[in-house]
Amino acid sequence: MKPIFVKGLVGLVVLLPLIGLLPSTSAFNPRLLDTLTTTITMIVAATFLNHLIGYGAGKAIAFKTGRTTRLMELLISLPLFLPVLLLSFGLYLTWIRLGLADQFLGVLLVLLLPTLPYTIRIYTNGFQTLGEQMMEQMVLIEPNRFKRFFFLTGPMMRSSLQSVTLLVTVIALSQYALVTLIGGGVVRMIALEAFPLYSGNSLAAAKEATLWLIALPFLIYFVQLILFFIWVQLVRRLLDGRYDPARK
């Protein structure tokens, strides 16, 4: 097969289905405002927690050896392979007792189950690609871990960071059953709006919610790109040859 043919086919198959999503009206259902606020807040919080917890875990799995680390790796990857939704039936009863059911925090914690294992996997791969020697070098150059992250590791791990945000966004947006069960309809994510309409009497009415469902990951990714651009610019300006041994 000719490369151009394969490429064309891939492009067609990927892009064609998106045509039907082109909006036909510009109406905005005021109901969606609340839902969008909750959804975006949830995604931002889930992404933040994923980065916070996953970064260190990915690094440990990439750089540490030994039985404990291997066991931890296995435990962390469990939700990838087990029925998370079914397990959450059990969690739900406990969440009620803890006062976490129908709460933002309760949903946030449960959303870590389907997202965090992916995050850690991405970080592990990222750190492995970066390499242990490179890490050692960076530790020598900048012992303060926050400064190190800001000036060195962060920008170098850029693609891993971006992938994590994307995956967390996409997975969190898709969870209807989990969010409905744990959030009890109080934590109104966009899936709660879209899903009943999909099995409802008007697919057209479902289009507006779907547009947001599909547009949000792109929007969030775009915002992230801008943030990274600013970050890198900032690092360049601040750095100003700070770590250049020739200057000393």
Partner 1 sequence: MMKPMIGLAAMGMLLAGCASPAAPVQEKVLGSSYTSIEKEANATTVRMYMWGGDEGINAYIDEYVTPKLKKEHQITLERVPIETADLIQKLRAEKKAGKKTGVIDVVWINGDNFRNAKKDGLLYGEITKVLPNMKYVDPQAQGSDSGTATDELEAAWGKVQYTFHYDQGSVANPPKDLQALKSWVKQNPGKFTYPEVTDFTGNAFVRHVMYGVESKETLKNPKADFKKTWAYLNELKPYLWKEGKTYPKTLAQLDQLYAKGTVSFTMGFNERRAEQEVKSGTFPKETRPLILDDGSIASTHFLSIPFNAPNPNGALVTINTLLSAEAQLKKFDATYWGDGTSLDLATLGSDAQMAFENVPAADSTPKPTEFKGKVRAELDPELFDVIRKEWPERVAR
Partner 2 sequence: MWRGNAWPATLLIAGMVGYGLFVSLSMTTWTDYRQLLSDSVFLESVGLSLYVAVSSTGLSVMIGALLAAFFAKQTGWTAQLLAIPLFIPHLGAAYLSLLYLSDLPVIGPHEGNHFSIILTYLYKEIPFVFFYLLPVYRRLDHRYEELGLMLGLSHLRRFWHGKGVFLLFPVLEAAFIVFAFTLFAYEVPALLGVTYPKMIGVYAFDLYTQGDLSSQPTAFAISVVLTGMLFVLLLLFTRLIRPLTDRISKGRSE
Q: Which of residues 184-203 bind partner 2 (CB under 8 A)?
A: 191, 194-195, 198-199, 203
Q: Which value, in Å, is the radius of gyration of the alpha carbons in the chain?
A: 21
How many residues contact partner 2, by CB under 8 A? 83
Nearer to partner 2, 11 or 229 (CB): 11
Residue 114, classed as helix, strand or coil, is helix
Closest approach of partner 2 to the CB of residue 19, in Å:
9
Instruction: Classify the phi-psi angles of 102: left when phi > 0, otherwise alpha if psi is within -120 to 50, otherwise beta.
Output: left
Q: Which stretch binds partner 1 (CB under 8 A): 1-9, 103-111, 130-138, 237-245?
A: 103-111
Residue 32 as a binder of partner 2 (CB under 8 A): the answer is no
Nearer to partner 2, 15 or 246 (CB): 15
Q: Which stretch binds partner 2 (CB under 8 A): 16-24, 25-33, 34-42, 237-245?
A: 16-24
Question: In this chain, which of 11, 23, 131, 196 binds partner 1, going by CB under 8 A?
Answer: 196
Direct distance between the N- and C-terminal alpha carbons of the chain, in angstroms, rounded to an integer: 57
DSSP 66-112: SHHHHHHHHHHHHHHHS-HHHHHHHHHHHHHHHT-TTSHHHHHHHHH
Alpha carbon distances (Å) from 151 to 59, 138, 144, 146? 17, 10, 11, 9
Question: In this chain, which of 42, 43, 84, 101 binds partner 2, going by CB under 8 A?
Answer: 84
Question: In this chain, which of 8, 23, 99, 131 binds partner 1, going by CB under 8 A?
Answer: 99
Backbone angles phi, psi at 66, to 5 degrees: 110, 165
Residue 36 as a binder of partner 1 (CB under 8 A): the answer is no
Nearer to partner 1, 55 or 118 (CB): 55
Query: At which residue do the structure tokens 């990915």 appear?
Result: 58
- The interface partner of residue 87, options being partner 2, partner 1, none and the CB cut-off 5 to 8 Å by kind, is partner 2
Q: How many CA atoms lie within 13 A of 75 on its CB side?
A: 8
Question: In this chain, which of 46, 107, 164, 213 binds partner 2, going by CB under 8 A?
Answer: 213
Nearer to partner 2, 218 or 240 (CB): 218
Nearer to partner 2, 37 or 94 (CB): 94
**What whole-number distance in Å separates Cα of residue 168 and Cα of residue 181?**
19
